[in-house]
């Protein structure tokens, strides 16, 4: 039987599987102790104005991965939106089977449909597989702009 990757837009009915994958991702990134996401908090941020959106990928009927994203800001010089890919995660047993590529393609397709000027994301510095994946999909590390944040 040929592996079949199906990607669908997620809604609040998918909060359980998405929440589980976010927790798996936090463990993979060695930050499990910082992950406090619940199904209720995920539902809230999925239903608020300009909230997080998601795609869930299924491989042969099993939830295999997810992409969380939103159009969180504007690029004022162009007057167009920027889509931000918050998380792209493929469960370990489904890696190297095209799941990540299909999820990334769907996010990029939607960004183009929404006339976004760019798609941006972050990649944890030690994850060489992720860096290679993003470079294969046209990603370029921005050496000019530094990222700052302030924990609240």
Q: Does position 96 have pLDDT exceeding 50, yes or no?
A: yes
CA dihedral 61, 66, 70, 76 (to 10 degrees): -120
The verdict on pTM exceeding 0.85 is: yes
Flag whether 150 is in a domain.
no
Range of the domain at 59: 5-136
Which position has the token pair 């941006």? 120
pLDDT digits (tens, 9 = 90+) for 105-116: 999 999 999 999
**CB crowding 109-138: b at 16 or more within 10 Å, else e:** ebbeeeebeebbbebeeeeeebeebbeeee
CA distance linking residue 16 with residue 72, whole number of Å: 24
How many independent structural domains does the chain possess?
Answer: 1
Token pair listed for 81: 């939106």
Flag whether 149 is in a domain.
no
CATH number of the domain where residue 107 is located: 3.40.630.30
The average pLDDT across 33-49 equals: 96
Token pair listed for 106: 């769907």
Flag whether 48 is in a domain.
yes
pLDDT digits (tens, 9 = 90+) for 58-91: 999 999 999 999 987 888 899 999 999 999 999 9
Calculate Rg over the CA atoms of the chain.
15
Flag whether 151 is in a domain.
no
Q: Does position 2 have pLDDT exceeding 50, yes or no?
A: no
Flag whether 143 is in a domain.
no
Flag whether 105 is in a domain.
yes
């Amino acid at each position: 039987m040929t592996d079949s990757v199906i990607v669908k837009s997620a809604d609040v009915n998918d909060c359980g599987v998405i929440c589980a994958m976010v927790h798996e991702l936090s463990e993979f990134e060695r930050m499990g102790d910082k992950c406090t996401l619940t199904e209720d908090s995920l539902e809230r941020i999925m239903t608020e104005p300009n909230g997080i959106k998601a795609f869930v990928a299924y491989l042969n009927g099993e939830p295999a991965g997810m992409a969380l994203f939103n159009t969180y800001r504007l690029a004022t010089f162009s007057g167009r939106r920027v889509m931000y890919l918050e998380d792209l995660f493929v469960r370990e047993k489904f890696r190297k089977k095209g799941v990540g590529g299909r999820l990334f393609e769907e996010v990029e397709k939607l960004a183009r449909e929404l006339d976004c000027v760019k798609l941006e994301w972050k990649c944890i510095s030690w994850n060489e597989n992720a860096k290679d994946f993003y470079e294969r999909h046209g990603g370029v590390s921005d050496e000019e702009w530094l990222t700052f944040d302030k924990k609240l």
